[in-house]
Structure 1
Amino acid sequence: MTPTALFYLLIAIIIIVFVIDSLLDILNALHYNDDIPDELADVYPEEDYKKSIEYKKANYRFKLVSSSISLCIMLLFFFFDGFAVVDEIARSFSNNPIVIGLIFFGIIMIGSDILSTPAAYYNIFVIEEKFGFNKMSPKTFFIDKIKSIIMMMIVGGPLLALILWFYELTGASFWIYALGLVAIFTVAMNMFYAKLIVPIFNNQSPLEPGALRDTIEAYSKKVGFQLKDIFVIDGSKRSTKANAYFSGFGSEKRITLYDTLIKDLTNEEIVAVLAHEVGHYKKRHVIINLILSICLTGLTLWFLSLFIANPLLSEALGVETPSFHIGLITFGILYSPISEVTGLIMNTVSRTFEYQADDYAKNTYSNEALINSLKKLSRNNFSNLTPHPAMVFIHYSHPTLLQRIKNLKD
């Protein structure tokens, strides 16, 4: 294959992925006005349901426009040898391949973030604001952006530097050492994310003594779940949408409740949500997902090691000097169809795990309380009650509300 043929193959993959995603969005949008199933008739009052449809339509139009603009920018970057220009800039600072790689990806990441900022700002301060979800101030928005860039430099920079160093040191065998590094990092993030990363963006405080804490602790004792920490996070400073999550394992496991969740749900409904999260832990879903993630990363890195030394990967993007960082860009696009397949498999596994966690909550606490909580969360988040089956199959990591309710009532 010639560099020109590979270049146009890359363009074809980018366009095909865009077209497929857009067609899925269009199919999904055609179902917005479908009749609500009887099981979901009490989720929305009529006026709220109309508002939820308008919200979904607004997001659909926004995504179609913003993704089309992103595609055009990307194609222009390819056709005008943007990667070669950035590579030249990076090489003007150093001859060290590790430094060059860090500067190259730094320019790409920061440039991409700057270009995506107007769309993110519009989404939050126009669409989310219009429908009553946004609680974030412009100041918080830009501070979050700055914090994210700093975190990328502090955490992502050293990781990338080590991977580049492994490649320079070991050649094609770099993937083994890179996989070990990624595995250690993934486990560390799972264990300490809530302690180290979350406080940078949000305030967390222990759940105060009272009826809710007593009910949670009583349930935890009943099912033999040793719970060390229950925290409340100030999600309301950014959005009215509610959530809860379980993080860590072993001695570092904790449950985190959004303050909006405590506001929207009754104590019994909150405990039902937590029972679902405990189900994930009891069924070893956290560990299984961790292992699957590391295995998929290993597969990707192994494939990368087979092709990264081929100068064709760099030549296809108009770069004369072959390098790891340019080869990684080309490989990432070539690998994207495989990523779509592995992502589909992971979503299928995830939906299975959600059913199992729901079953655990149903058997150890209350199916009705969980059903009520799911309905409230769907209503308050303007969730789509009638998604297209293809969208669910390809992109949903959770079953639909209707599917979960039917399972819980079975």
Structure 2
Amino acid sequence: MPLLRDLAGLARLRDFRRLLTVRVLSQASDGVFQAALATYVVFSPEKQASPAAVASAMAVLLLPYSFLGPFAGVFLDRWRRRQTLLYCNLLRAALACGTAALLAARAPDWLFYASALVVTGVNRFVLAGLSASLPRVVDGDRLVTANSVSPTAGTVAATTGAGAAFVVHLLLGGGAGSDAVVVLVSAALYLGAALATSRMAVGLLGPDPDRVLPHLGTALASTARGLAAGARHLVERRRAACGLAAMATMRFAYGALTVMVLMLCRYAWGPGGAALLGAAVAVSGAGFFLSALVTPWGAGRFGTAGWITVCAAAAAVLVPVPVLSFEPLPVLAAAFVLGAATQGAKIATDTIVQTTVDDEYRGRVFSLYDVLFNVAFVGAAAVASLVLPADGRSAGLVVGVALLHGAVSLAAARFPADPADR
């Protein structure tokens, strides 16, 4: 099979294997660190976790990633990417050790969040650097396959890291000391990623030193103007704009229910709440995986907008009833459905953007998409913090999320035909 041949060919590329190792270790570290942040905020016995605290943690995790993303490339085109990956992972290892010390010393929350904010901000340079470096270690014929393998391996590594962090937290009995140990595990993995990076030649990942680049201030201003131009182009491509609005709404709904599940795990489901949170992450990830298998057929059968209609309708109909029980097994089943529906709609939205936005604007539009995607999630956490009671049981929030999914389903059925849609 051609795919198996391509995978076998990638496996023979030494530099690709090394870059993939850096990605896997880096994203596994991210999963461990983010799980440690979640358990500290939600499950620490000495803390009374609240929806507002969860919203703050999500802002720390996602907003730096979003707002730094469009500008990271300006620096990555100036710095040697191998050195960027090396020093950023070393910096994250040191910062993670500092974060562990803050946890163990029971430092003020603002200081802990500031440390975590820097760790997640540096993360954006690592992920962008990994993506920018891939064409330097893979030839053009295998690049599409490599672009499929690398992010998928990174996502699996992050999920596995988060799951392992929950297990370590449970084995150590919980508390700030356990969270500090988990953060130290992430520091060790960050250090491993740095060591894996050091095995590559300094100039391997580019950029070419003889490239003529504009001054930094000019480049940053140009990036900001480019994002504004991308937004104007998106307004002209109404089908793509409608797709992004639908996806942002579904992401908002996903974020609101995520905060609800966190509160249920903390207060309503007893001492096994941390294990149930890990199970919720796993089953939602299984839903993501199922959508990757089913969406090509669904989009081919119903069209991309039609598939968004189907996914949103499925979430509107199948999610509320089990969630309204507020019991673990029905909520886990709903998490699977919600994960599949949200990811299926996202894949369809990605395709709409790719096929309706002109090539010269596509990168800028996807940068805006990334910001919108994460801001919607954080915004949902903020709204949930105002609506949810401490134990997470809110029928009104569940009904509101169902209405949002229903509205997306109706709107997607009326997406405009875009003359630029190829």
TM range (shorter): 0.3 to 0.5
- Choose between structure 1 and 2: higher helix proportion: 2
TM-score (norm 1): 0.32
Tell which structure's C-alpha radius of gyration is larger: 1
Give 1 or 2: higher strand fraction: 1
